[in-house]
Chain A
Amino acid sequence: MSKFMSVLLDDKRMEAIKGSGLEEKIDKMFGGALNAFTLELSDDKAKEVMDAFFSARVDSRGFITDVPIAFSRTLFEEIAKAKSLGDDVIDGVLARVDEIKEAAEKESEFLPVPEL
């Protein structure tokens, strides 16, 4: 059974994917107040993510959760770059695994402040 990952989209992220053709794949939450992508991962890719990140788990809906926050941020960057929601995006994220792990180690003490 395939696994899923959710990527939340605020206005800034919506701007970054404008014209990518991904707009039609957006899911609406909270009555349309919150946008999100749902990625479907193949079994192989899901296993690679689970193996790379010790904290990751699969919830009752089949969603992979509890990955580092840096993972979620990187995941969006790769989606915006590849203009895709396929397995190639996960490859892009996994190629940056060292960078993610380095940021994740500091995550209990430091998180980058969002630009308003």
Chain B
Amino acid sequence: MLQIETPPPHGGRLIERVVRDPELGRKWAKNCAAAYDIKPTLSDGVPIRNVYREIMSICYGFFSPVEGSMKKAEVERILKERRLLNDWIFPYPLVFDITEEELKDLGVTVGDRLLLRLKGKPFAILDITEIWRIDDAEELATKTFGTPEGNPEVVQEPFNAKMPGWVIYKSLKPVVLAGKYTIINEPTFLEPFDRFWFPPRKSREEYARRGWRTVINHQTRNVPHIGHEFLMKDAGFTGDTEPCHGIQVNAIIGVKRAGDYPDEAIIEGHEAVNLGGYIKPERHIVTFTLWDMRYGNPLESMLHGIIRQNMGCTHHMFGRDHAAVGEYYEMFATQTLWSKGIPSYGFPASVNDVPYGLQIRPQNMKEFWYCPVCNEIAYSECCGHTKEKQKFSGSFVRGMVAEGIFPPKVIFRPEVYKVIVKWWKEFGFPFCNAKYVKEKEVRLEVDLPDMDI
């Protein structure tokens, strides 16, 4: 078979745990044993994660086949083999964690249904099937990402407080309520996120409607410069008997770090690429997933593969330093996972070449730069002018933006730059400053309808 078809969801069945009938939602909310207001996970008083994003991504099927907060045995299996109890591969523990005091106040036990409130409104329920303890959160954090001794293929340095994902797991509260989540009061997205919300069921329908058999995903947490645009365009030539029909941008939207671009600018910046016709809207779609980035490089790439396969993509582009921070992982760790595998994480072969693995296909890409001799944005494996090349240095581009210099077309498309300036006006700063980071975690990405119980 030369032609590739849309892959099935990871685990074989798309998870959808959203009650869309408000009457039914109200009924379920009413017979809960207790109610709990969702709070952000804090580190030194700073929000670093909000479990609401995990609940959204689980209930809308981005993380299929995961259905809820994990049992102890499941977390242990993930840390050992990166597999769920049903054998399907999965990179990270996902848990609903509370303090001992909170457990005492709630007075819930196994078999109880807990109402979860967000922004003071009913949001979801958790059907508790197990209550277990995290004995040592720091140990859990280290086991989640690995060590240079235990994972010598890819881990170069021990993880520490400068690694956001490690800090998230280290900051987990000691009591885990395990069980399935169900959203009983569907949130509405704030602008501009609302028009980019394509959860797996909807994205699959959209691609079928557009006649897209093959779709390649571009992972982003950046406003796209020309290097990103050419990565998308050139990787888009991957496909089967013809280039990919569609290019999906999926932005990871979640807790921000100072210096990142604001989420609003990232998502509208990508949209500007298609509105400007650089990749026409008929071939390009911008979407997002709610998730507080763990920066787990190869492990994060496995989650990215799961999310995008669930969304209906056939291909996924991976660059170097994929979802990386610092020098913890080797530069090409993600591409190693998606080519020969990483045995110490439980994968003696690529994650799409193991039982209960993924079907989405990797497109491992090298680098793009501007070459004045080729007179084009060149691919590092084509252009031989290594002396003349001009790289898209992140700090150079950011410096230019900060100084208010209108960037040339070979760096940012004017339409994309105007999006940066639009949100710069809104927030008083082109990047996320301390104020933005703090206010975002209060505002979140959603509002909830009133629901009287």
Where the two chains meet, the residues of A that have a C-beta atom closer than 8 Å to any C-beta of B are 8-13, 29-31, 33-34, 69, 72-73, 107-114, 116
CA distance A10 to B408 in the complex (A): 8
Q: Are B372 and A110 in contact (CB under 8 A)?
A: no
User: Is B169 among interface residues, defined by CB-CB distance under 8 A?
Assistant: no
A29-B390, A108-B433, A109-B433 known; A114-B408 Cβ under 8 A: no
Chain A residues positioned under 8 Å from B106 (CB to CB): none
Chain B residues positioned under 8 Å from A33 (CB to CB): 408-411
User: Is B110 among interface residues, defined by CB-CB distance under 8 A?
Assistant: no
A-B contacts, 7 of them at CB < 8 A, read: A9-B405, A10-B406, A30-B370, A30-B372, A110-B428, A111-B402, A113-B421
CA distance A108 to B437 in the complex (A): 13
Q: Are A73 and B404 in contact (CB under 8 A)?
A: yes
Chain A residues positioned under 8 Å from B408 (CB to CB): 10, 30, 33-34
Q: Give the one of A11, A13, A29 with max B CB within 10 A.
A: A29
User: Is B375 among interface residues, defined by CB-CB distance under 8 A?
Assistant: yes
Chain A residue at minimal CB-CB distance from B404: A114
A72-B403, A116-B421 known; A109-B409 Cβ under 8 A: no
Chain B residues positioned under 8 Å from A69 (CB to CB): 399, 402-403
Closest 6 CB pairs of A and B: A114-B404, A33-B408, A10-B406, A31-B372, A33-B410, A34-B408
Known contacts A11-B406, A111-B429; 16 additional CB pairs below 8 A are A12-B406, A30-B370, A31-B370, A33-B410, A33-B411, A34-B411, A107-B402, A108-B433, A109-B433, A109-B435, A110-B429, A111-B424, A111-B428, A113-B404, A113-B421, A114-B421
Distance in angstroms from A9 CB to nearest chain B CB is 8
A29-B390, A31-B370, A31-B410 known; A112-B404 Cβ under 8 A: yes
User: Is B400 among interface residues, defined by CB-CB distance under 8 A?
Assistant: yes
User: Is B146 among interface residues, defined by CB-CB distance under 8 A?
Assistant: no
CA distance A69 to B258 in the complex (A): 17
Q: Which residue of A34, A73, A110, A113 is within 8 Å of B425 (Cβ)?
A: A113
* CB contact list, B410-432 vs A, under 8 A: 410-411, 418, 421, 424-425, 428-430
Distance in angstroms from B432 CB to nearest chain A CB is 11
Chain A residue at minimal CB-CB distance from B258: A108
Q: Give the one of B400, B403, B429, B435 with max A CB within 10 A.
A: B403
CA distance A109 to B433 in the complex (A): 5
